[in-house]
Amino acid sequence: MPMLIITLILLAFGLVMLYSASYVYGIYRFKGDALHYIKDQAMFAAIGLVAMFAASKVDYHVFRRYAVMLLGLVYILLVVVLFMPEFNGCHRWIVIPNVGTFQPSEIAKFAVILLFANMIEKNYDKMKTVTYGIVPFAAVLGSIVVLMFFQPHLSGIVIICAVGGIMMFIGGTDTKWFFLAAGILVVGIIAALIIWPDAIHYASSRIENWLHPENDLSAAGYQSYMGRLAIGSGGLFGLGLGNSRQKHLHLPEGQNDFIFAIICEELGFIGGMMVIVLFLALFARGIYIATHAKDKFGAMLVMGIIIQICLQAFLNIAVATGTIPNTGISLPFFSEGGTALMMILGEMGIVLSVSRYANLDRG
């Protein structure tokens, strides 16, 4: 299936499910405005589609000229956001008066992908060395991690580091450095537990809430429990589109982090599998485009974008199904979030550009 078709199906499916999952929240939170969430999402979807089709017609090599400039802009935005109003204990959104808000971390994801793709192609023959295969990449990731840590935005850090690390691995960085990084991480975690003993209790309580959310329905376990209840209620074919019970203010963030649970409740196991199959199709087609790209830059660009989207999707699904602890990661194309949707569609335009210049997906 052509990448454009997969993208448009995901977008349309996502908008339908976002409306279904969010209209109750809109009525209760915004004075009866059932369309509150979908209006904003549809506007950003329209902007994103324009960006996608524009990017698909541009030679993707043009974007490499702006890799360093974009990273510089990201640094500025990640500092500015720390002085923005706090929301749910975090400083993740920059407020633009009379316009809305956006998350700099979404731009940071693409900035890392673009810069890493450029550096890998330029230094491909030297990626086994520390000077070219480790230092510049670690410097970029480390500086972004520090800035995002103060927001804090741990789920964004996980995605950016994972995508960056995978790109480095595919790009030819010596595998021994990954083992060294893993060792440093383990030592760091142990040191943190020794320095902050309360962290042991915090970590153990998070694991307990993940494994047995029903034991703490008054706090951290509530959302996970309600998410699993929604999925279980859907059965094979679901309760029907729009008929979710948990979205009636029982499941927090049903329009965001836990929208997959609402999909499963309304469309059942079949609906959940449709979502998974669409992301698998996106991943498979992305790999095909990357392996047929005209050059290393195009291949790494596509790999970074596809890995970012699909990794985020499957981590979100894993959280909703209780496979891993709650991480606060949204579901691409489906969850509420205009900045994320706009950036994803723009990135898909670049993927289509790489495909077009490789003579794939014609028409």
- One digit per residue, the tens of pLDDT, for the chain of length 363 reads 799 999 999 999 999 999 999 888 888 888 888 888 899 899 999 999 999 999 999 999 999 999 999 999 999 999 999 988 887 778 888 887 766 778 899 999 999 999 999 999 999 988 888 888 899 999 999 999 889 888 888 888 889 999 999 999 999 888 888 888 778 877 877 776 677 666 566 667 667 777 777 666 666 677 788 888 889 988 999 999 988 888 887 787 778 889 999 999 999 999 999 999 999 999 999 999 999 999 999 999 999 999 999 999 999 999 999 888 877 789 999 999 888 999 999 999 999 999 998 875 444
- Predicted model pTM: 0.91
- Which residue from 40, 3, 1 is spatially nearest to 354, judged by alpha carbons? 3
> CA-based angle 154:24:244, to the nearest 5?
85
Q: In the block, which residue shows the tokens 């929301």?
A: 87
84 in helix, strand or coil?
Answer: coil
Output the CA torsion 169→170→172→174 (10° steps): 20
Is residue 133 classed exposed, middle or buried when 0-12, 13-18 and 19+ CB atoms within 10 A define those classes?
A: buried
CA–CA separation, 116 vs 231, rounded Å? Answer: 38
Q: Say what the pLDDT of residue 90 is.
A: 80
Q: Which amino acid would we find at residue 154?
A: L
Residue 294 has what DSSP assignment? S
Q: Say what the pLDDT of residue 343 is.
A: 94
327 in helix, strand or coil?
Answer: coil
CA–CA separation, 74 vs 281, rounded Å? Answer: 31
b/e map of 308-336 (b: 16 or more CB within 10 Å)? Answer: bbbbbbbbbbebbbbeeebebbbbbbbbb
Q: Say what the pLDDT of residue 103 is.
A: 87
Q: In the block, which residue shows the tokens 């541009």?
A: 58
User: How distant, in Å, are the alpha carbons of 1, 53, 269, 285, 336 from that of 4?
Assistant: 8, 10, 26, 10, 22
Q: Say what the pLDDT of residue 363 is.
A: 43
